[in-house]
A and B are shown apart, each in its own frame.
Chain A
Amino acid sequence: MKTPAFKSSSLTDNDTPTGESTNLAQHKQESFDVKAIRARFPILSRRVNEKDLIYFDNAATSQKPTAVIDSISDYYSRYNANIHRGIHTLAEEATLAYEASRYAVQEFIGAAMVEEIVFTRGTTEAINLVAYTWGRQNIHAGDEILISGMEHHSNIVPWQILCQEKNAVLKVIPILDDGTLSIAQYQQLLSEKTKIVAIVQVSNALGTVNPVKEMIAMAHQFGAKVLVDGAQSAVHLDIDVLDLDCDFFAFSGHKLYAPTGIGVLYGKQELLETMPVFQGGGEMIKEVSFEHTTYNDLPYKYEAGTPNIADTIALKAAFDFIKSIGKDQIRKHERELLVYATSQLENIPGLEIIGKAKEKVSLVSFIIKNLHPQDIGILLDNLGIAVRTGHHCTQPLMKRFGIPGTVRASFALYNTKEEIDVLIAGIYKSIKMLS
């Protein structure tokens, strides 16, 4: 049994996420030393606007440790070659390293087979792949696709396009005031017409952890497939696709300390086998004549063209980095930051946190009465603090809360309470300047 996703009942200091560390215990863990960890991220020593950089935009993309940066440079310096076809030594080394990353993904998300791991450019491409292949094959007029009201645009638009093409219906699971999904209404929306549920595991705008395991089981009772958008969850939670029993799972490397341009689509083998191909080209074929082409086996069937070899190899370096510290340790630290930031922010007059789910990852979205998030963001930038402001690519969600956007501070393993103190002081200063 793999480690379950963390559960917690409230935001208190002693309520750190617990989970069996059976599979993590295999890896030798260093004790959590944030100073030592920061030293492994070269960018953290840079200055912005003559101030020390404080990077709180981790939910947009995380910074990269030296190990990841070096692995890209090492590939190009020592064994750059095209993969799978070459018989020479460099091609063999590159192929081995590339495929080692696929095994690393299999382990990272607990997939049954390595053939179920398809490399994509990121979460967005992974979702589009499913919408364009499985969707076109299986969605018909009158069918229903279910998403939630807290989806990122990339888990809305591909389904919208599919619905328009197929005359199918897109239905939305509503959100409650605390930023959680209405499971009661989800139950009511499910029916024999529901063909797929596409749901985010962790909201990028609110931090809410959705009970996807239960939601998947509910959908399966109606024979619907489930795609889980793991863009935000993969870095924070222990992912076990077998335990979740999801049909598809999509995530991006760049939010978990790996480079941009590499992501993953996990799909159950029987689905990936029967789905039509996505893009045509090299790598994805077995034999080509002008009359007929036979396609390659899984997972190559979905990987047309020369892939992003360097960044795929670096993805494994990112997993190794995470393992070297341990997700449990990381979560404990991030949880402390979340609890601390939440309590400090709540003390600021006029500040309201948007998204108060009991189960949250380490991000806080907030608004300040009578102040525009953009103003806060611009002033904080002058203090060297990088936060995200705006709608976070979740315009329908912002509409649901009746706000133009929020200020979002998202924390990673290298952030500290001292940095949060600077943020809090910066917010007070911004409020003073703006009023």
Chain B
Amino acid sequence: MNQKSISEIEEEIISDFSMFDSWEDKYEYLIDLGKQLPELEETFKTTDHKIKGCQSSVWLIASYQDGQVFFKADSDAMIVKGLVSMLIKVLSGQPPKAILEAKLEFIKEIGMFSHLAQTRSNGLLAMIKQMKNYALAFQSIEELENK
């Protein structure tokens, strides 16, 4: 269970990246984060789980347990996998409301993707949108069940 809030985890990531001065070191760290992400089972790598709007393939699955959303994801591109890994770190295990409200300022703060176009072309925006969609869906289901 995730005890830390989204903003606390964001702060940790920002502080981790601030240790690196050069873009090379930042990317190598990001690539390492991707490598640490557990591989998604092949059975989940289907069109249904694929995020549209990415140049690389990104698969995302979500589950809901005790008021928290859990994400698992994978990508065939390493930098994108690093991005996915950061998003999972921040958003997985959080309640739907917190996921929906998350501004995810850390993406800008780590100083790698300052332009909106950059986040669009590497699929980051599409990933965030899909994660928020899942959160919204789980939230709606719960509201219906509580009625």
Which of the residues A372, A389, A390 comes within 8 Å of B76, measured between beta carbons?
A372
Q: What per-residue 1/0 map shows which CB atoms of A373-393 lie under 8 Å from chain B?
A: 111001100100000011000
**Interface of chain B residues 9 through 53 with chain A (CB within 8 A):** 23-24, 27-28, 31
How near does chain B come to A391, taking the closest CB pair, in angstroms? 8
How far is the CB of B121 from the nearest CB of chain A, in Å?
A: 9
Interface residues of A in 278-316 (CB under 8 A from B): none
Instruction: State whether B28 touches A404 (Cβ < 8 A).
Output: no
8 tightest Cβ-Cβ pairs between the two chains A and B: A372-B77, A374-B77, A374-B55, A374-B56, A390-B55, A382-B23, A375-B79, A375-B78
Q: A372-B78, A375-B80 are in contact. List 10 more A-B contacts (CB 8 A).
A: A371-B78, A374-B55, A374-B79, A375-B79, A378-B79, A378-B122, A390-B55, A404-B56, A433-B24, A434-B31
B130 interfacial by beta-carbon distance below 8 Å: no
Please measure, in the bound complex, the distance between the C-alpha atom of A371 and the C-alpha atom of B81, giving whole angstroms: 12
**Interface residues of A, Cβ cutoff 8 Å to B:** 49, 371-375, 378-379, 382, 389-390, 404-405, 429, 433-434
- B76, A404: Cβ atoms under 8 Å? yes
Q: B residues within 8 A CB of A378?
A: 27, 79, 122
CB pair B55–A389 under 8 Å, yes or no, is yes
CB-CB under 8 A from B77, the residues of chain A are: 372, 374-375
* B 92-143 contacts with A by CB, 8 A: 122
Q: How far is the CA of A390 from the CA of B53 in the complex (A)?
A: 12
Q: How far is the CA of A379 from the CA of B78 in the complex (A)?
A: 11
Give CA–CA (A375, B79) in the complex, Å: 6
Q: How far is the CB of B86 from chain A (nearest CB, A)?
A: 15
Contacts of B79 in A (CB 8 A): 374-375, 378-379
Residues in B neighbouring A434, C-beta threshold 8 A: 31, 78
B57 on interface, CB distance cutoff 8 Å: yes
CA distance A42 to B88 in the complex (A): 43
Residue of B nearest to A372 (CB): B77
Q: A374-B56, A404-B56, A404-B57 are in contact. Are A49 and B23 (CB under 8 A)?
A: yes
Chain B contacts to A: CB under 8 angstroms? 23-24, 27-28, 31, 55-57, 76-80, 122
Residue of B27, B57, B78 near A382 (CB, 8 A) is: B27
> Is B24's CB under 8 angstroms from A405's CB?
no
With both chains docked as a complex, state the minimum distance between the C-beta of A329 and any C-beta of chain B, in angstroms. Answer: 35
CA distance A374 to B79 in the complex (A): 8
From residue A371, how far is it (CB to closest CB) to chain B in Å?
A: 8
Query: What are the residues of chain A within 8 A of B23 when measuring CB–CB?
Result: 49, 382
How distant is B78 from chain A, measured CB to nearest CB, in Å? 5
Q: Which residues in A have their C-beta under 8 angstroms from that of B56?
A: 372, 374, 404
Measured between beta carbons, the chain B residues less than 8 angstroms from A433 are: 24, 27-28, 31
Q: Are the C-beta atoms of A374 and B27 separated by less than 8 Å?
A: no
Residue from A374, A429, A433, A434 having most chain B Cβ neighbours under 10 A: A374
> How far, in angstroms, from A382 to B79 measured CA to CA in the complex?
13
What are 14 A-B interface contacts by the 8 Å CB criterion?
A49-B23, A372-B76, A372-B77, A374-B55, A374-B122, A375-B77, A375-B78, A378-B27, A378-B79, A379-B79, A382-B27, A389-B55, A433-B27, A434-B78
* CA A50 to CA B102, docked complex, whole Å: 32
A-side contacts of B57, CB under 8 Å: 404
Could you tell me the distance between the alpha carbons of A297 and B62 in the complex, rounded to whole angstroms?
Answer: 62
* Nearest opposing residue in chain B for A377, CB measure: B55
B28 touching A374, Cβ below 8 Å:
no
Q: Closest A-chain residue to B25, C-beta based?
A: A433
How far apart sit A13 and B145, CA to CA, in the bound complex (Å)? 73
Complex-state Cα separation, A389 to B77, whole angstroms: 12
Assembled-state Cα–Cα distance A378/B24 (Å)? 11
Instruction: Assess the A405–B55 pair: CB atoms within 8 A.
Output: yes
Central interface residue in B27, B56, B77, by most chain A CB within 10 Å: B77
In the bound assembly, the distance between CA atoms of A193 and B29 in angstroms comes to 59
Alpha-carbon gap, A49 to B112, bound state (A): 11
Residues of B within 8 A of A404 (CB): 56-57, 76
Nearest CB of chain A from residue B110's CB, rounded to whole Å: 14
Once the chains are docked, how many angstroms separate the CA of A389 from the CA of B57? 14
Q: Write out the residue numbers on chain A whose beta carbons fall within 8 Å of the beta carbon of B122.
A: 374, 378
Of B24, B28, B55, B57, chain A has the most CB atoms within 10 Å of the CB of B55
